[in-house]
């Protein structure tokens, strides 16, 4: 079962969360400022040590988001990313100066393939850049992290020179990222062990792992790096991130907690908040969590096999190495219904990890009452879907007012749609090859936009014929990708609202001037 040994004989590992920076680089995972602040609050309350809030030079929006997170966060260090460029570092310093504890995270490529094709610099030129830019960052803040982009494909002798230079210039944290997810655990362990033992002043800095999951080994590589001497893990909630994503925070944390016998390390993460953080990030990014996702997936603690069920009934430890409660997952309950009042609903929201402002609460309560009138039992999962849907739609320019769909087997499928666009009501009718086709085309006609549909999927929030449908839509337009989710008892309404949610997001202008070369 889960190791519960005292932390007195263990070494602390710091958790550096980059959901708001590397995680948001996932195509379609763009978050609004309000959503970023909600995620930052969840991370801070959970005990994350460092929150990487964004890349301040990328756009005014990114700068403002880092400033807002820096001002709001109460406990964690707030980091801003910067390339090894004077303007980047100055901008990051300006953003994080508002934090109680601010960090500049600066990076430069070190691998031969990056130097030849991206940087077009010699090794000696890179050494000079490291010395100059790390010193510049250290003059702005006391806490400076330096990263060797593509470290795992960098010759060890050159990597040693780079690390030594960065520490001498004032870096307090050294990150050796597996930028392209290329490493295997054994060599990742050896890289950290060799660098830490070989660089004379290595004891003056904390070493950090930052692993991508291209080969499915991000968590394994992160833990191997810790075994090799790293004491900071860079990760994201739900493993969100570019390409195949980053190491998942919930997985590395629970691996250390559960297997303390094999890995004598601990973190300060309050694990009972992991499930809540997962839901908040999933709703903010509009990235559903796969059912069989470790720790926080819908099936993580579900047992269907007869042999497994028999064992669970006799002793839960036969097939569960940790309890659902240890990560904040509770049994589904049936305590809410159409007669439940505001106080009971607010209590239920608090139990599920939500604290809404007055307006958001009133809107969520009204939708709950509407749902309770249509649905016999309102489960916790229904309320979670309802609130996440409500939060994800705040600030939408295009909103659904009314919709009528006429379908006939082998006949016409027609959608009569009423939407408001920036408060102005528009009515359209459109025929399609099916009901959903008619709905989506009606929305395109009303909005005057023609995005490419990348993904459309629907599943049930709970069981039963009256279950809410959870619809997921991903759209691409003008080089931008955005995802939308919605939950409704009516599958077609859920589909329409999910499409509108994605369309609203894909229309958000985002600066991309400096998005092309990011660390990690």
Domain coordinates in residue numbering, the chain: 11-285, 302-391, 398-507
Q: Is 246 annotated as a binding residue?
A: yes
Angle of CA points 237, 224, 44, to nearest 5°: 30
The answer to whether the annotation marks 472 as part of a ligand binding site is no
CB 265 within 8 A of CB 12: yes
Q: Which CATH number fits domain 11-285: 3.90.380.10, 2.120.10.70, 3.20.20.70, 2.30.42.10?
A: 3.20.20.70
Chain position carrying tokens 């649905």: 375
Q: Is 22 annotated as a binding residue?
A: yes
Q: What is the pLDDT of residue 434?
A: 93
- DSSP assignment string, 306-371: HHHHHHHHH-GGGT-SS-GGGGT-------B-TT--HHHHHHHHHHTT----HHHHHHHHHHHHHH
What's the mean per-residue pLDDT of the chain? 87
- Are 327 and 274 within 8 A, CB to CB? yes
Residue whose tokens read 């060797």: 148
- Residues of the chain with pLDDT > 90, as a percent, come to 59
Q: Answer whether 35's CB lies under 8 Å from 51's CB.
A: no
Per-residue pLDDT of 42-98, as tens digits, reads 999 999 999 999 999 998 989 999 999 999 999 999 999 999 999 999 999 999 999
Beta pairing partners, 208: 175, 232
Mean pLDDT of 27-32: 81
Q: If one looks up domain 398-507 in CATH, what number appears? A: 3.30.160.270
- The answer for residues whose C-beta is within 8 angstroms of residue 124's C-beta and 6 or more apart is none
CA 182 from chain centre, in angstroms, equals 22
How far is it, in rounded angstroms, from Cα 226 to Cα 211?
12
Q: Is residue 163 pLDDT above 80, yes or no?
A: yes
- Residue at token pair 């090894």: 84
The model's pTM is 0.78
**pLDDT score recorded for residue 309:** 44
* Percentage of the chain lying above the pLDDT 70 cut: 89
In this prediction, residue 374 carries a pLDDT of 73
What is the distance between the alpha carbons of residues 268 and 36, in angstroms, rounded to a whole number? Answer: 22
Instruction: Name the most confidently modeled range: 174-183, 330-339, 446-455.
Output: 174-183
Report how far residue 123's alpha carbon sits from residue 265's, in angstroms, rounded to the nearest whole number.
36
Q: Is 210 annotated as a binding residue?
A: yes
Residue 3 is predicted with a pLDDT of 46
């Amino acid at each position: 079962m889960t190791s519960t040994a005292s932390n007195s004989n263990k070494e602390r590992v710091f958790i550096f969360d980059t959901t708001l920076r590397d995680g948001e680089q996932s195509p379609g995972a763009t978050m609004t400022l309000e959503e970023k602040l909600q995620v930052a609050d969840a991370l801070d309350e959970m005990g994350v040590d460092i929150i990487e809030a964004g890349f301040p030079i990328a756009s005014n929006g990114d700068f403002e988001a880092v400033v807002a997170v820096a001002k709001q966060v109460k406990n964690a260090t707030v980091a801003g990313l910067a390339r090894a460029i004077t303007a980047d570092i100055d901008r990051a310093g300006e953003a994080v100066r508002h934090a109680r504890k601010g960090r500049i995270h600066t990076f430069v490529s070190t691998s031969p393939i990056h130097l030849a094709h991206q940087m077009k610099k010699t090794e000696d030129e890179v050494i000079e850049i490291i010395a100059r830019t790390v010193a510049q960052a250290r003059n702005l803040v006391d806490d400076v992290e330096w990263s060797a982009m593509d470290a795992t494909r960098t010759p060890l002798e050159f990597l040693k020179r780079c690390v030594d230079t960065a520490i001498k210039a004032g870096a307090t944290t050294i990150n050796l990222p597996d930028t392209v997810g290329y490493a295997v655990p054994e060599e990742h362990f050896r890289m950290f062990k060799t660098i830490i033992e070989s660089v004379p002043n290595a004891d003056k800095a904390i070493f950090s792992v930052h692993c991508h999951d291209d080969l499915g080994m991000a968590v394994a590589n992160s833990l191997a790096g810790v075994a090799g001497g790293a004491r900071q893990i860079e990760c994201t909630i739900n493993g969100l991130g570019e390409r195949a994503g980053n190491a998942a925070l919930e997985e590395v944390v629970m691996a250390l907690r559960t297997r303390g016998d094999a890995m004598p390390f601990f973190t300060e993460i309050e694990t009972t908040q992991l499930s809540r953080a997962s839901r908040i990030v999933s709703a903010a990014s509009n990235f559903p969590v796969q059912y069989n996702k470790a720790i926080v997936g819908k099936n993580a603690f579900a047992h269907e096999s007869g042999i497994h069920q028999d064992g669970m009934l006799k002793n839960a430890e036969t097939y569960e190495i940790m309890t659902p409660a240890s990560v904040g997952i509770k049994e589904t309950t049936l305590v809410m219904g159409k007669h439940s009042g505001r106080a009971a609903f607010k209590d239920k929201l608090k139990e599920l990890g939500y604290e809404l402002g007055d307006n958001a609460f009133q809107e969520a309560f009204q939708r709950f009452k509407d749902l309770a009138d249509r649905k016999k039992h309102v489960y916790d999962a229904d309320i979670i879907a309802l609130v996440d849907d409500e939060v994800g739609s705040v600030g939408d320019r295009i909103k659904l007012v009314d919709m009528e769909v006429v379908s006939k087997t082998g006949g016409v499928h027609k959608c009569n749609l009423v939407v408001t666009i920036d408060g102005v009501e528009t009515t359209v009718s459109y025929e399609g090859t099916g009901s959903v086709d008619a709905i989506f085309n009606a929305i395109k006609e009303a909005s005057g936009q023609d995005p490419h549909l990348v993904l459309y999927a629907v599943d049930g929030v709970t069981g039963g014929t009256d279950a809410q449908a959870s619809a997921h839509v991903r759209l691409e337009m003008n080089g931008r990708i955005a995802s939308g989710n919605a939950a409704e008892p009516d599958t077609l309404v859920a589909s329409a609202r999910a499409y509108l949610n994605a369309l609203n997001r894909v229309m958000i202008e985002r600066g991309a001037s400096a998005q092309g070369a990011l660390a990690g």
